[in-house]
């Protein structure tokens, strides 16, 4: 009976202690059991680690300023007590630093079901890769390199396809030596000392018409070459008014022009009415240019159509040929008549 009473008294005392432990806070050196939110607080020198309500953990510094919070859902916040993701950083910068010049830090994003790296990959050479790298280390990534040369390059399958250097030079398939440097295996193309831009503006309805491809001279920023969305090409002009507009000289070995008017061989047909020289003389005296040929004023204002003008000039040459033949026949006729007259005169002299 005595043992039973003893056991009962011990049980009652333990119950009281247990109740008090969940209803009060007590301090033992640098350890605080805080029953208000079922947590434990470690503190010393102003720094604290507090078990927060709902079984989270919070790290504080002096003046009870929260520095890092781990919620019961596993979300970790640095500089915030309400992290919205697995890791939330607020009010500061994220930095990984190597001792000395080791450059051995890495930051990867891995797919959980494989060892593929996806999204953001920060390599030890201070490059930043966006994209996907497989377990065989074959990469298809966009890389932003920032060691010394501050170069941005685009690579796939470990092959560099495009590079933008800190001096503004862009290379496609090659390290650029010009503002735009394009290299295709077996050939090369360099645009040196020129600006190159492709532009469109306006809405969808006129987008194609407003596209253009242009090369500009850096010195005067003038247009050296332009291809409009309409198909018009301008050389040394930004406003071509035909499929090829050249403001300047053209040096060519040969130029072939398709005809828009028939050739003037009809001039040699028997029924062709050649303008009499007397009428031609009157026309020239009045107009100061050949029939069917534009005046000097018209040519200076509107220019000339080379194909049509060549055919007009050929027609005038053929008409001139007919005039020469006509004059030759008349001269021959006159010579014959003069010979007959000469013979008649000789006969008259012989009969005297």
Q: What are phi and psi of 234, to 5 degrees?
A: -120, 135
The 3-state DSSP class for residue 335 equals helix
pLDDT band (50, 70, 90) for residue 19: very low
pLDDT of 250 above 80:
yes
What pLDDT, on a 0 to 100 scale, did the predictor assign at position 17? 41
How far is C-alpha 322 from the geometric centre of its chain's CA atoms? Answer: 62
What pLDDT, on a 0 to 100 scale, did the predictor assign at position 348? 85
337's enclosing H/E stretch is: helix 306-350
Q: What is the pLDDT of residues 271-288, one digit of tens each?
A: 999 999 999 999 999 999
132's enclosing H/E stretch is: strand 128-133
Better pLDDT: 295 or 114: 295
Question: What average pLDDT does the segment 76-87 reach?
Answer: 91
| Range ranked top by mean pLDDT from 134-138, 187-191, 259-263, 300-304 | 300-304
CB-based contact 132:117 (threshold 8 Å): yes
Question: What average pLDDT does the segment 289-314 reach?
Answer: 92
Question: What average pLDDT does the segment 16-31 reach?
Answer: 45
pLDDT band (50, 70, 90) for residue 52: low
What pLDDT, on a 0 to 100 scale, did the predictor assign at position 207? 43
pLDDT of 329 above 50:
yes
Better pLDDT: 230 or 116: 230
Q: What is the pTM of this model?
A: 0.43
How far is C-alpha 45 from the geometric centre of its chain's CA atoms? Answer: 59
Strand partners, 212: 199, 228
Nearest to 10 by CA among 171, 2, 105: 2
Long-range Cβ contact pairs of 290-296 (< 8 A, separation 24 or more): 290/316, 292/316
Averaged pLDDT score across all residues of the chain: 74
Question: What average pLDDT does the segment 224-235 reach?
Answer: 88
Q: What is the pLDDT of residues 123-153, one digit of tens each?
A: 555 555 555 555 455 555 555 555 555 677 8
SS3 content of the chain, % helix, strand, coil (to 5): 30, 30, 40
Question: For the purposes of burial, counting CB atoms within 10 Å of the CB of 129, is it exposed (0-12), middle (13-18) or buried (19 or more)?
Answer: buried
pLDDT of 210 above 70:
no
């Amino acid at each position: 009976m005595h043992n039973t009473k003893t056991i009962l008294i011990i049980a009652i005392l333990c119950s009281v202690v247990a109740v008090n432990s969940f209803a009060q806070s007590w301090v033992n050196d640098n350890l605080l059991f805080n029953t208000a939110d079922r947590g434990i607080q470690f503190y010393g020198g102003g720094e604290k680690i507090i078990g927060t309500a709902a079984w989270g953990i919070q790290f504080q510094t002096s003046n009870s300023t929260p520095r890092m919070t781990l919620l019961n859902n596993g979300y970790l916040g640095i500089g915030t007590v309400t992290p919205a993701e697995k890791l939330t950083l607020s009010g500061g910068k994220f930095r990984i630093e190597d001792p000395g010049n080791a450059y051995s830090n890495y930051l990867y994003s891995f797919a959980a079901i494989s060892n593929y790296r996806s999204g953001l990959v920060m390599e030890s050479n201070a490059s930043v890769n966006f994209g996907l790298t497989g377990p065989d280390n074959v990469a298809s990534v966009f890389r932003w390199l920032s060691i010394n040369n501050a170069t941005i390059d685009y690579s796939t399958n470990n092959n560099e396809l495009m590079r933008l250097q800190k001096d503004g030079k862009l290379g496609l398939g090659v390290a650029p030596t010009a503002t735009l440097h394009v290299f295709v295996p077996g050939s090369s193309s360099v645009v040196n000392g020129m600006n190159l831009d492709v532009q469109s503006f306006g809405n969808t309805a006129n987008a194609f018409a407003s596209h253009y491809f242009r090369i500009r001279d850096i010195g005067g920023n003038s247009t050296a070459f332009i291809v409009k969305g309409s198909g018009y090409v301008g050389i040394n002009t930004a406003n071509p008014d035909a499929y090829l507009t050249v403001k300047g000289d053209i040096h060519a070995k040969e130029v072939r022009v398709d005809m828009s008017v028939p050739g003037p061989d009809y001039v040699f047909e028997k029924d062709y009415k050649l303008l009499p020289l007397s009428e031609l003389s009157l026309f020239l005296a009045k107009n100061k240019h050949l029939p069917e040929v534009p005046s000097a004023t018209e040519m200076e204002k509107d220019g000339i159509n080379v194909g049509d003008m060549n055919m007009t000039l050929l027609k005038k040459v053929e008409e001139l040929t007919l005039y020469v033949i006509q004059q030759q026949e008349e001269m021959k006729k006159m010579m014959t008549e003069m010979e007959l007259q000469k013979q008649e005169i000789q006969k008259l002299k012989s009969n005297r």
